[in-house]
Chains A and B, each alone.
Chain A
């Protein structure tokens, strides 16, 4: 590893004793933020639980006839694989192989684009079929109370998740550039690890959205 010896000393803020304490503080801060993200989505999952309890039959029918199973399944594999490449990128960044880490983050970004592309195809289909929230709902195959509510929740939950995908891709792009410049190493890797935590949370939320929206 020739880069290892050439790298400058990792930045240590003066109010931390050592890199270990700084890294642990950064991790704790990120986990607190992730907890608030979990609770943000819990509000939506709670709304889903209530309306699914009230309209169980219609929700099942809408999930069977209204959403594309292939798209949801493909997107699940896409996100899981992107999580793997992010985890591997952190692994190699810690070993000082910044170029490889940046390449793996690039793969993650491509997978994120694929996820959003498939989602865009799905959204276009929903708009075409009139599977829309509230008074815009005109899908003839699934009627009855609660049918439009399924798609209201569908759009809010996948939409908010999609925003998180975009935010996560932005963070990963920044980290890819920094890894390419060989900024990370065995002691200084907290930024890329924390960016990875965010991306894994996005994956975590999709893991629950997939069965609830596509499989039930």
Chain B
């Protein structure tokens, strides 16, 4: 190893074979995700499988090509923190969309098929006993 004579070699320097092995694994995973997408799995699974394979490939690139495996320390923390914010942003925004009253989302496949709500669907729980069903949330009647 030519840098053996230098005392300031920063960290263990692995051979080129490891990069080729990672490249083979990345190619195999790409073929895998291509084949999995042709299987027509069910609605949640095709997306989950594709994203899991993409995450595995990204992990290989980050750990070996980007040397996070060899270089301990704060770089890992920085990258992991950015991933936490990715999960927060996408996760919370999706939760927001998924838990909205349908008509609060912009017009889409589901809302365009949405039957106009009848008068009764606006009745809140327990409201009927108070005399005027459907009053909560309805704009005041104009004379």
B141 touches A (CB below 8 Å): no
Q: Is the CB of B79 within 8 A of A42?
A: no
| CB-CB nearest in chain A for B80 | A35
Chain B residues bordering chain A, tally (CB within 8 A): 57
B-binding segment of A25-33, A150-158, A168-176: A25-33
Q: How far is the CA of A181 from the CA of B90 in the complex (A)?
A: 45
How long is the Cα–Cα vector from A18 to B9 in the complex, in angstroms?
12
Q: Tell me whether B90 and A20 are in contact (CB under 8 A).
A: no
Q: Which residues of B contact A36 (CB under 8 A)?
A: 82
Known: A91-B16, A211-B33. A38 touches B109 (CB 8 A): no
A5 to B109, CA, bound (A): 69
Are the CB atoms of A211 and B51 closer together than 8 Å? Answer: yes
User: In the complex, what residue of chain A is closest to B112 when comparing beta carbons?
Assistant: A145
- Specify which chain A residues have a CB less than 8 angstroms from the CB of B123 in the assembled complex: none
Q: A55-B109, A208-B58 are in contact. Are A31 and B75 (CB under 8 A)?
A: yes
Interface: A19 (CB within 8 A): yes
Is B103 part of the binding interface, using a Cβ–Cβ cutoff of 8 Å? no
Q: Min CB distance, A87 to chain B, in Å?
A: 5
Say whether A50 contacts B93, CB under 8 Å. yes
- Pairwise interchain contact A210-B54, C-beta atoms closer than 8 A: yes
The proximity string for B residues 75-115 relative to A, scoring 1 for CB distances below 8 Å and 0 otherwise, is 10011011101100110011001100000011111101000
User: Could you tell me if B23 and A27 are in contact, using CB atoms closer than 8 angstroms?
Assistant: no
Cβ-defined contact, B58 with A73, below 8 A: no
For the complex, give the distance between the alpha carbons of A204 and B90 in Å: 18
B108 to chain A, nearest CB (A): 4
**Is B47 located at the chain interface by the 8 A CB criterion?**
yes
- Residues from chain B with Cβ under 8 Å of A210 in the complex: 30, 33, 54
Give chain B nearest CB distance to A214 CB in angstroms: 8
Q: Which residues of A contact B (CB under 8 A)?
A: 1, 4, 18-20, 23-24, 27-28, 31-32, 34-36, 38-39, 42-43, 45-46, 49-50, 53-58, 73, 76-77, 80-81, 83-84, 86-88, 91-92, 94-96, 144-146, 185-187, 193, 196-197, 200-201, 203-204, 207-208, 210-212, 215-216
A-B contact sample (17 more), CB < 8 A, given A35-B79, A73-B30, A200-B65: A43-B89, A50-B93, A54-B97, A54-B108, A80-B30, A83-B61, A84-B19, A84-B20, A84-B65, A94-B3, A144-B109, A200-B62, A204-B58, A211-B51, A211-B54, A215-B33, A215-B50
